[in-house]
Amino acid sequence: MRGGLPGLIVLLLALAGAGAIHMNAPPPAPWSDDELKAIQSLSLSALPPLPSDPSNAVANNPVAQRFGHRLFFDARLSANGAVSCATCHQPSMRFADDLPRAVGLAIGTFNSMSLVGTAYSPWYFWNGRQDSLWAQATSPLESAIEQGVSRAQAARLIAGDPTYLAAYQALFGPLPPLPGEAPETGQEEAAVTEAFVNIAKAIAAYERLLLPGETRFDRYAASLGQDEASAPDAQLSHPETEGLRLFIGKAQCINCHNGPLFTNHEFHNTGVLPAIGALPDKGRAEGVRLILKDSFNCFSAHSDDPDKNCLELRFMRTGDDLVAAQKTPSLRNLKGTAPYMHAGQIDTLAEALAHYNRARDAIVGHNEAKPLGLLPYELKRLEAFLSTLDGPLATAPEWLAPP
Amino acid sequence: MNALFPLLLLALSAGLPAADALAGDAWPTPNPDNAQVTQFGRYRISYASALEPIEINRIHAWVAQVTDADGNPVVDATIRVSGGMPEHDHGLPTEPRVTAYLGDGRYLIEGMRFHMSGAWHVVLKVKSGTGEDSLSIPLDI
């Protein structure tokens, strides 16, 4: 048996070596057909073309896009001359900000939502209290804690700026007589509202250009089924792919964060605590009440849609179970849009994942999420996967800076 | 005009627009061969979705065709639509309802939407002179 011991050592070393290789680079388990289907459903390649907005006649008009671009960055559209749309929706922060709650003229109640891909949504704001991009744009302009301009002040800004006036007239015709301009006709208020709505429609035309671009996850999804060597930069790490597996499986994230924008555009109560010192928010229950009486909703005379089909609004769900339900946000560019939740209550992605893993009873209404029982290494893998959802915008660079 | 009068009366009595008013829309036609029998056997219901295959997050319409057990179209039905995901203990994200009678026992249901993949059921509760009954339609979306 001479040589037996060295032989054994060699064998053990070989096994150890094989083990080390295995531990360093485990072969990714093949995806099942259902998993592949789920992965492709999340991929940017599954994103349909931007839906038309018949309520906004200038939604795709290049003059309106340029006009809206200027208005978006124009702080003259505020009571103190210092707040624009871009104050809370900053291009460098994926058109959100890094604050828990929006700060315009004062500190607001809600976390600023990213505008990237928002034109796909049937509902706006965390509680969905408005139902078109242009209607949404009217609210911060008038809000006393955001921009705080009156409709007449906004119209006067257009009247007093030759570039704006030319764009306005090209798009909408002559600016109506403003209050205080003789002779008074009694129609000034309606005319000013019309001008204000037109300003919002131009801003919406610009915001429709803000679309999500390809991420590492999208490149990986596109590479599946292809030779690995043909797309060497499309690979995800082992923790990232295993995080993806959890995302579409055991962790149930895909239930609500589904489709290529990682949102079902719906409202869910997930037991998020109110911001410290704040009362619990009524969420979608309040949103439903507000949208029905909103003078700029889909049924409104300010909509340019002659049909007023308004499917989402006509068949909107109502009911008590919507209390404290908030809109599912997109997870694209998640890393760059911290802090999280409707009032920025959660600082980090790890804490957000821990929140869903615990799924404690809601203090108002009913938490739809159930405890997941994920282990710490699984939460880390999920976090690793979510970091693959950052990417540039699919928007020409000239739109991403002030004009 | 005389020929149209009974149709008009029917539409008014049901509180729904007449099929003529919707002539411009090409609604799908359910295949009666796929009819399912309601819980107590009073009706047979076939349906067709205007969105086929059904995708998540897209609002769309269905047409439900209702006959009695002998295959005669039911023209005076009131249909209530509900449903949900039994596994997740939640209902539909919208409140779909019948918006038009299309003739021949066919009813237009608008406002259908599903916001998650997985096992759903859609429940149609039918009430007419024939009686009350319901059908639970399982769907895998």
What integer pLDDT is reported at residue B29 of this predicted model? 95
What number is the average pLDDT over the span A158-178?
95
- For B93, which residue in chain A has the nearest alpha carbon? A317
Tally Cβ neighbours within 10 Å of residue A278: 12
CA A147 to chain centre: 21
What integer pLDDT is reported at residue B3 of this predicted model? 46
SS (H, E, C) chain A: CCCHHHHHHHHHHHHHHHHHHHHHCCCCCCCCHHHHHHHHHHCHHHCCCCCCCCCCCCCCCHHHHHHHHHHHCCCCCCCCCCCCHHHHCEHHHCCECCCCCCECCCECCCCCCCCCCHHHCCCECCCCCECCHHHHHHHHHHCCCCCCCCHHHHHHHHHHCHHHHHHHHHHHCCCCCCCCCCCCCCCHHHHHHHHHHHHHHHHHHHHCCCCECCCHHHHHHHHCCCCHHHCHHHCCCHHHHHHHHHHHCCCCHHHCCCCCCCCCCCEECCCCCCCCCCCCCCEHHHHHHHHHHCCCCCCCCCCCCCCCCCHHHHCECCCHHHCCEEECCCCCCCHHHCCECCCCCECCHHHHHHHHHHCCCCCCCCCCCCCCCCCHHHHHHHHHHHHHHCCCECCCHHHHCCC
Domains and CATH numbers, chain A: 30-47+215-283+323-389 (1.10.760.10), 62-211 (1.10.760.10)
Which positions in chain B touch A38 (Cβ < 8 Å)? Answer: 117
Which positions in chain A touch B91 (Cβ < 8 Å)? Answer: 317
Q: If you compute the radius of gyration of chain A from its CA atoms, what whole number of angstroms results?
A: 25
Do A38 and B88 make contact, defined as CB atoms within 8 angstroms? no
Interface contact A254, partner B, CB < 8 A:
yes
| Distance separating alpha carbons of residues A122 and A131, to the nearest angstrom | 6
pLDDT tens across B50-90, in order?
Answer: 999 999 999 999 999 999 999 999 999 999 999 999 988 88
With CA atoms as reference, report the closest residue to A50 among A115, A120, A134, A116: A120
pLDDT tens across A323-362, in order?
Answer: 999 999 999 999 888 999 999 999 999 999 999 999 999 9
Interface contact A59, partner B, CB < 8 A:
no
**SS3 call for B95:** coil
pLDDT tens across A78-102, in order?
Answer: 999 999 999 999 999 999 999 999 9
Q: Are B67 and B105 in contact (CB under 8 A)?
A: yes
Interface contact A175, partner B, CB < 8 A:
no
With CA atoms as reference, report the closest residue to A303 among A82, A55, A42: A55
Which positions in chain B touch A317 (Cβ < 8 Å)? Answer: 91-95
Given a cut of 90, whether residue A185 has pLDDT beyond it is no
> Which structure tokens are listed for B16?
């729904």
pTM of the model: 0.89
CA dihedral sign of residues A225, A229, A231, A234: positive
Which positions in chain A touch B119 (Cβ < 8 Å)? Answer: none
What number is the average pLDDT over the span A37-46?
97
Maximum CA pair distance of chain A?
116
What integer pLDDT is reported at residue A26 of this predicted model? 57
Instruction: Report ipTM for this prediction.
Output: 0.86
Given a cut of 50, whether residue A192 has pLDDT beyond it is yes
What integer pLDDT is reported at residue B74 of this predicted model? 97
Given a cut of 60, whether residue A6 has pLDDT beyond it is no
| B5-140: CATH, from 1.20.1050.10, 2.60.40.10, 1.20.1560.10, 2.60.40.3340 | 2.60.40.3340
First-last CA distance in chain A:
84
Q: Are A190 and A148 in contact (CB under 8 A)?
A: no
Of B56, B91, B97, nearest to A264 by CB-CB distance is B56
Let me know the angle formed at the C-alpha of A210 by A164 and A307, rounded to the nearest 5 degrees: 75
Given a cut of 50, whether residue A244 has pLDDT beyond it is yes
| Distance separating alpha carbons of residues A116 and A314, to the nearest angstrom | 27
What integer pLDDT is reported at residue A178 of this predicted model? 81
Which positions in chain A touch B57 (Cβ < 8 Å)? Answer: 258-259, 264-265
| Distance separating alpha carbons of residues A177 and A183, to the nearest angstrom | 9
Q: Is A266 exposed, middle or buried (0-12, 13-18, 19+ CB in 10 A)?
A: buried
Of B110, B115, B117, nearest to A266 by CB-CB distance is B115
Q: Give the percent of chain A with pLDDT over 70.
A: 91
